[in-house]
Every structure is written in structure tokens, then in C-alpha cells.
Amino acid sequence: MRRVYFAAIHKDTKSDYTALFPGVPGCITAGSTVEELEAMAREALQGHLNVTRDFGEPIPAPLDLKAAKAHEDAKGAAFILAVAVEVESGKASRLNITMPEDLVAEVDAYAKRRGLTRSAFLARAARQAMHV
């Protein structure tokens, strides 16, 4: 299910852009340009929500724009950015699959570089392959 979260974007003259997600504690990222920040924000939020789910914690519901702007994380923000991500619905199912060891290592390295778990990466790859 696609959900839209709002990121409060902060910019200090001597640093990169920083994105905080009101209502999603601990989710923060940065980028040197707005374009880079947009990509980093999507990746950080998706990874954060996947890890939250993988640890069995409830995924925070997105705040509406008014609530996001009123949140403490948005104080002093240069602007608010809407970030759409896929949030898995339903309970996760454990499965056992077989793949060559070298492919598993490549999957793990690729997922890690993107802040994803192996499960989150494989789920995303399956959705992309099926165009879901």
C-alpha cells in the first residue's frame, strides 16, 4: 500500500539539506542537493519502515500536512517534502528459499548499501518484477 509521509527539510548555510520525518522517530537523512535529498529521503524512510516492521514494531501512520507542519521536527524547516513509499500490508510470512551463495552475498551487499534488509529487498524486487 502506498503511503505519503511528510519530511521537514532543514538547511544551514554551512551544511547539506537534512530531512526529518515528523511522527517517524529516528528517521533522518541528508543530501547536498534537493534532488539528492529527495532520493535519500525516500530510501531512508522505506528502509526505516521496513526495519520497524521486521522488528515487529507498529509502523507509524503518516501525519497529515497540518500535523506534520506543527510537529517539533518541522520547527524552522525551510520547506516540507512529500515522500511516497510502499508500506507492506498484512502480516509477514517466513519462507525458506534456495539461492547460490554468491548471489545471496550480492543481494545482502546491495540491500545493505540501500539501508534495506534482505527480506525488504527481495520483497521489493518481487513487486517490481510483477509490476505491483
No. of helices (H) and no. of strands (E), the chain: 4, 4
Domain shared by 73 and 97, yes or no? no
Transcribe the chain into DSSP letters.
Answer: -EEEEEEEEEE-TTS-EEEE-TTSTT-EEEESSHHHHHHHHHHHHHHHHHHHHHTTPPPPPPPPHHHHHHSGGGTT-SEEEEEEEE---S----------HHHHHHHHHHHHHTT--HHHHHHHHHHHHHT-
Kindly state the average pLDDT of the residues 106-127: 87
The total number of structural domains that make up the chain = 2
Q: CATH number, domain at 15? A: 3.30.160.250
82/108 same-domain check: no
The candidate with the shortest Cα–Cα distance to 51, out of 77, 31, 24, 71, is 24
Task: State whether 72 and 108 are in the same domain.
Answer: no
In a shared domain, residues 116 and 86: no
56 and 120 in a single domain? The answer is no
Question: Do residues 110 and 59 both lie within one domain?
Answer: no
Average pLDDT over residues 57-72: 94
Using the Cα atoms of residue 84, residue 89, residue 94 and residue 98 in order, give the sign of their dihedral: negative
Together in a domain, 98 and 83: no
Length of the chain: 132
pTM of the model: 0.67
Weakest-pLDDT range from 16-20, 41-45, 98-102, 116-120: 116-120
Question: Do 73 and 12 fall within a single domain?
Answer: yes
List Cα–Cα distances, 51 to 26, 45, 80, in angstroms. 12, 10, 24
111 and 84 in a single domain? The answer is no
- Residue range of the domain that includes 123: 93-132
32 vs 114 pLDDT, higher one: 32
pLDDT digits (tens, 9 = 90+) for 1-17: 889 999 999 998 888 99
Shared domain for 12 and 33, answered yes or no, is yes
Express as a percent the part of the chain with pLDDT over 70. Answer: 97
